[in-house]
Amino acid sequence: MFLTIIAFILILGFLVLVHELGHFLVARRFGVGVEEFGLGFPPKLISKKIGATVYSLNALPLGGFVKIKGEDATTSNDPDSFASRPVWQRIAIVCAGVVMNIAAGFVILSFLFSIGAPMEITPDISRQFVRESYIELIKILPDSPASRAYLKPGDKILAIDGQLADSLKNLQTKISQLKDKEIVINYERSGVAASAKLTPEILDEVVPDRAMIGVALAEVGLVQYPVHKAIIMGAQGTAAYLQRIVTAFGGIFKSLWQGASVGDKVGGPVAIAVATGDMVALGWRYALLFTAILSFNLAIINILPFPALDGGRIVFFVIEKLRGKPSRAEVEAWFHRAGFALLMLLAVFITYRDIVRFGGRIWTAIIR
């Protein structure tokens, strides 16, 4: 539990800090004044003023913040004020956080591919780049023999009924031939070896004429490329993850528009913390991969055209460009405050749902 909390703080803090660093760097590049760049959130521990900027170290280690001069439309006549800059420069400064999150995810993926990224071994991956492959459970059907034996996704299969897990096809054939016979599955979870006894059954809703234990198996391994190839794969992986995230958000908005439940598609800080613990348990490579995916999610969320988010601010800049004059500062501020309040209410609701959903796991982790 303690390791999960530390990892959660470090990952979330890193991603928020990277986002704010993007705003800071581009603002400085355009000559916009930065009043303060803080590591962590207040209360303030120490600070030092260099030039016109205060650099501070704060007590709450949850990322950081940047305070840009004139961002609230005050001091708009000062030459180094954010409000006095052309619309395209203001859009660039606001977009910089999103770009930095995408760049951070790309760098992490490229690094992982250069040292060995954990992923499913598919036919299109050349075996010369694969090392340390093994068979892993990637899905468990509810009310199946595997579910009743408390097997979990992520379990590494070592052997089934004495047959070593050296071939995915051989294991699948072995299971199908053992109808109505109890078998022993040896597996590894979080570095600890264990075993489970279960009997394959015919699951009519899946394959009516073949005995199964109700799992999806995949060959997983470390895929390592030369540096130049790793950068290319990092770019391809970045594009693929962004496309999946955008598609997922589209599905969520479609469900909301149709009045349907989004179920477990949406998670908040508690869900992220639980997922962080799961990834840390699988190893540091999985934790890094999770950080990259979370960074992409943060980028997409921030670019949504909703008040209080970066995308919402961009909407006002576009309206200003079309109208030829800025919106009233108090009107824009009201929209952003209302948007922030709605986001906070949504966060509370999602957190409550996450606690109900993961409460048992959290309590178990605390008392251990």
Q: What is the 3-state secondary structure (H, E, C) of the chain?
A: CHHHHHHHHHHHHHHHHHHHHHHHHHHHHCCCCEEEEEEEEEEEEEEEEECCEEEEEEEEEEEEEEEECCCCCCCCCCCCCHHHCCHHHHHHHHHHHHHHHHHHHHHHHHHHHHHCEEEECCCCCCHHHEEEEEEEEEEECCCCHHHHCCCCCCCEEEEECCEECCCHHHHHHHHHCCCCCCEEEEEEECCEEEEEEECCEECCCCCCCCEECCEEEEEEEEECCCHHHHHHHHHHHHHHHHHHHHHHHHHHHHHHHCCCCCCCCCCCHHHHHHHHHHHHHHCHHHHHHHHHHHHHHHHHHHCCCCCCCHHHHHHHHHHHHHHCCCCCHHHHHHHHHHHHHHHHHHHHHHHHHHHHHHHHHHHHHHHC
pLDDT for residue 266: 65
pLDDT for residue 265: 59
Beta bridge partners of 193: 188
| Cα dist from 292 to 97, 108, 297, whole Å | 15, 6, 9
pLDDT for residue 234: 94
Q: Please state the φ and ψ torsions of residue 258, each to the nearest 5 degrees.
A: -85, 0
The domain ranges of the chain are 2-116+236-367, 120-223
pLDDT for residue 300: 92
pLDDT for residue 358: 54
Answer CATH for 120-223 from 2.30.42.10, 2.60.120.680, 1.10.600.10, 3.40.190.10: 2.30.42.10
pLDDT for residue 28: 92
pLDDT for residue 166: 74
pLDDT for residue 214: 80
Q: What's the pTM value of the predicted model, to 2 decimals? A: 0.81
Instruction: Kindly report, residue by residue over 228-283, the tens digit of the pLDDT.
Output: 999 999 999 999 999 998 888 888 777 767 766 655 556 666 677 767 777 777 78
Give the residues of the chain that fall short of pLDDT 70.
1-2, 73-76, 175-180, 203-211, 256, 259-270, 274, 350-368
pLDDT for residue 74: 59
- Kindly give the pairing relationship between strand 34-50 and strand 192-198: unpaired
